[in-house]
Amino acid sequence: MYRRTFLATGAALALSRPALAAGTALRIGLITPPAHQWSKSAQGLADRLAAKSGGAVTLTVLPAGQLGSETQMLQQLQTGALDMAFLTIGEFANRDADFGALLAPCLVKDIPGARALLAKPTAGELLDKTRALGLVGLGFGLAGMRQTLLRKPAATVADLAGRKIRALPLPQEMDFWTRIGATPTPLPLPALYDALSNGQIDGMQIDFEGTWNSRYFELAQEMLASNHMIFPMVAVASARRWKVLPDDTRTLLTAEVQSALSEILNAYDGLDAAYRGQIEATGFPVHTVGADFFGPAIEGWYETWRVKTPILTKLEADAGRA
């Protein structure tokens, strides 16, 4: 039985705030390390929930894959063993290929373009599809634009032929690197440092943030600032847990997750530039390349995936590409 609590020391304040169920202890899982923006914003979310509920709602942040891989976290969300997560698009795209359409190469050119795309109704349709997976989609966030970090430099796309490039294990991303002539090598975030240092991979698709924070560039010789894909994040709650939460807790959570996501969506223009600057300041070569670097592989990719996932055409229209 829940005890209704009011936050206020004064009656006016008490009336202006929602009544919250005491003792709602929630957990959120992430694969990103504590220094990553997603983890920092999750901690900010936890702090605000505690403050705004007067301690009635607590959120324990479990970063760095403490609860296991995203596959394991998704299972925990489905059974109700986990309340919330910030997940990459990978788990979704492997269950419903429509999600992978968000990773269309060069669909938008920068973070403002990505942010605008994720605010459009087509992205909203994808968010609603999380219901079918036993989740409540609370909104999209993103990480930095995808770049290409290489152990050996590449002057043209032909130099990538046969190179083992780390990709997310989802069909659209693997297909992109295959069309380029590289050998896509699926690896999750926690495996990257070792794989790059022991030569299991020749390069990776990654962002400036991870490259700086995890010092991947120290194991490489060149970074192509290719901005060739966006990297959406999906903030989800367990549908099983969501339906037993009191209304006022759901209202508070919905609002505060939105502000965490806004913080994330707005952070990455600056973060991409700042982390790139820090990498370059070490003397490490970062070379900007455009969509033309990848050649005809991109158009071939679109021709195939428009047929496999018709939602791609709507995303192209939203992005102003079509």
Runs of H (alpha helix) within 145-220 = 171-180, 192-197, 208-213
Phi–psi pair at 199, nearest 5 degrees:
80, 10
**In sequence order, what are the beta bridge partners of 58?**
25
Pick 37 or 122: Cβ nearer ligand BEZ: 37
The contact mask relative to ligand BEZ for 8-47 (x = CB under 6 A, - = no) is: -----------------------xx---------------
Longest Cα–Cα distance in the chain? 70
Residue span 274-303 as binding mask against ligand BEZ, x where in contact by CB under 6 A, dash where not: ------------------------------
- Sequence-ordered list of residues with C-beta below 8 angstroms from that of 187, at least 6 positions apart, any chain: 166, 167, 169, 195, 200, 201, 204
Left if phi > 0, otherwise alpha if psi is -120 to 50, otherwise beta: which for 149?
beta
**Which of 108/143 has CB closer to ligand BEZ?**
143
53 binds ligand BEZ, rule: CB under 6 A: no
Choosing from 46, 160, 189, 271, the residue that interacts with ligand BEZ (CB under 6 A) is 189
DSSP structural state of residue 107: S
**Residues 219-238: x where in contact with ligand BEZ by CB under 6 A, - otherwise, as a string:** ------------x-------
Alpha-carbon span 36 to 97, nearest angstrom: 27
Is the separation of the CB atoms in 152 and 184 below 8 Å?
Answer: no
Q: Which one of 49, 56, 126, 206 is in contact with ligand BEZ (CB under 6 A)? A: 206
- Residues 207, 201: contact at Cβ < 8 Å? no
Q: How far is the CB of 292 from ligand BEZ (least distance, A)?
A: 24
Q: C-beta of 3: minimal distance to ligand BEZ in Å?
A: 38
| DSSP 8-class letter at 10 | S
Contact 144, 212 (CB under 8 A): no
CB 29 within 8 A of CB 73: yes
Q: Taking the complex as a whole, how short is the minimal distance between the CB of residue 102 and ligand BEZ, in angstroms?
A: 14
Stretch that binds ligand BEZ, among 5-13, 206-214, 219-227, 292-300 (CB under 6 A): 206-214
- Closer to ligand BEZ at the Cβ: 19 or 64? 64
Q: Which of 39, 41, 76, 88 binds ligand BEZ (CB under 6 A)?
A: 88
| Total chain residues near ligand BEZ (CB under 6 A) | 9
The first and second tokens of residue 84, run together, are 């919330």
Among the listed residues 63, 184, 203, 210, the single contact to ligand BEZ using CB under 6 A: 210
Among 106, 143, 219, 298, binds ligand BEZ (CB under 6 A): 143
**Distances in Å between the alpha carbon of 196 and those of 6, 164, 185, 201, 248?**
53, 10, 11, 5, 47
Of residues 40 and 241, the one with the C-beta less far from ligand BEZ: 40
Residue ranges that bind ligand BEZ, judged by CB under 6 A: 31-32, 88, 143, 189, 206-207, 210, 231
